[in-house]
Amino acid sequence: MSGDLVQSAMPASAKWPAPAKLNLFLYVTGRRPDGYHHLQTLFQFLDFGDELTITADNSGTIKLLTAIDGVPQEENLAVRAAQLLRQQAQLHGTLPPQAGASIAIEKKLPMGGGLGGGSSDAATVLVALNHYWKTGFSFAELAALGLTLGADVPVFVQGFAAFAEGVGEELTPASPAEKWYLVVHPGVHISTPAIFNDPALRRDTPRRKISELLLADYHNDCEPVVRKRFREVEQLVSWLLEYAPSRLTGTGACVFAEFDTESTARKVFDLVPKKWQGFVARGVNISPLHRYLSSQ
């Protein structure tokens, strides 16, 4: 294979979006023998998230230029995604040995916040390097690779709002209303495994058709457990509910309130106590990652 393959994709450096997601609802319908849970959830993206500067090069290595506190480089999902794609492409003979990349992450999403930051970073790396390296994987193939990194990676790779089942990887396109959201983080880190292993978690919510779920009031089965275990989340949910329908996303710790207009969301944002951090963003059904890719 020609060693010019990576060079032919140049210029191969840009800042790519890694958007947040919300779980507009989340129901736990059972538990599998391997410990994973059967879910029914509705994913929607936000027009806000991390930003990754990704550069394809001929170094033959994957370099992370920005360390993240508490996350060793070998455990960083963005690095693992790049290494996985490189390995699989070379196994398929579509990438020369000297293909490499550097990644710089501008972290805007809180870790352990339920917004999918690490999974979104991984998906952005897969999509961007598939583009730069011209490895030719389809979105479905990239999503399958991403699933080995985390259950939320496929929805970020596929790039459309979706009703999800299984462990979150069985995706059906959906078109929820694109509301405005105030998202607030209470300053605590919540471990997803800890919540899913909590004996108090409800695991027997009846499975329903998506048409029925979309017409029902939205809830999150993880929220009662999280509010009981984390006083900060309980205080935040109680405060936000004074202003708009509010609930936990994923296993938390972020809580979101939904509004019909940006101005209304920002009025409440201005009232958020200083002890909490937050932002206002629009819910979008096409990922900003895919909008950016289509502009390339």
pLDDT category at 67 given cuts 50, 70, 90 is confident
Provide the sign of the torsion angle of the four alpha carbons 236, 71, 181, 154, taken in this order. Answer: negative
pTM (two decimals): 0.94
Q: What is the largest CA-CA distance in the chain?
A: 62
- Known catalytic membership, residue 21: yes
Q: What is the pLDDT of residues 163-204, one digit of tens each?
A: 999 988 899 999 999 999 999 999 999 999 999 999 999 999
> How many C-beta neighbours within 10 Å does residue 231 have?
11
> pLDDT tens digit string along 34-65?
888 999 999 999 999 999 999 999 999 999 99
Burial state string for 78-92 with b = 16 or more CB within 10 A and e = fewer than 16? bbbbbebbbebbeee
Instruction: Place 278 in a pLDDT band, splitting at 50, 70 and 90.
Output: very high
Residue 46 contacts residue 22 (beta carbons within 8 Å): yes
What is the predicted pLDDT for the residue at 161? Answer: 98
The span from the CA of 227 to the CA of 229, in Å, is 6
DSSP 73: G
Domains (ranges, CATH) in the chain?
A: 5-173 (3.30.230.10), 180-284 (3.30.70.890)
- Band the pLDDT of 2: cuts 50, 70, 90: very low
Predicted confidence at residue 10, as pLDDT, reads 45
**Each residue's pLDDT tens digit, 135-169:** 999 999 999 999 999 999 999 999 999 999 998 88
- Of 50, 57, 152, 221, the active-site residue reads 152
Using a pLDDT cut of 90, give the percent of the chain over it.
Answer: 88
198-251 confidence digits (pLDDT tens): 999 999 999 999 999 999 999 999 999 999 999 999 999 999 999 999 999 999
Name the catalytic one among 21, 57, 179, 221: 21
Burial of 255 (0-12, 13-18, 19+ CB in 10 A): buried
pLDDT of residue 5: 44
Pick 256 or 94 by higher pLDDT.
256
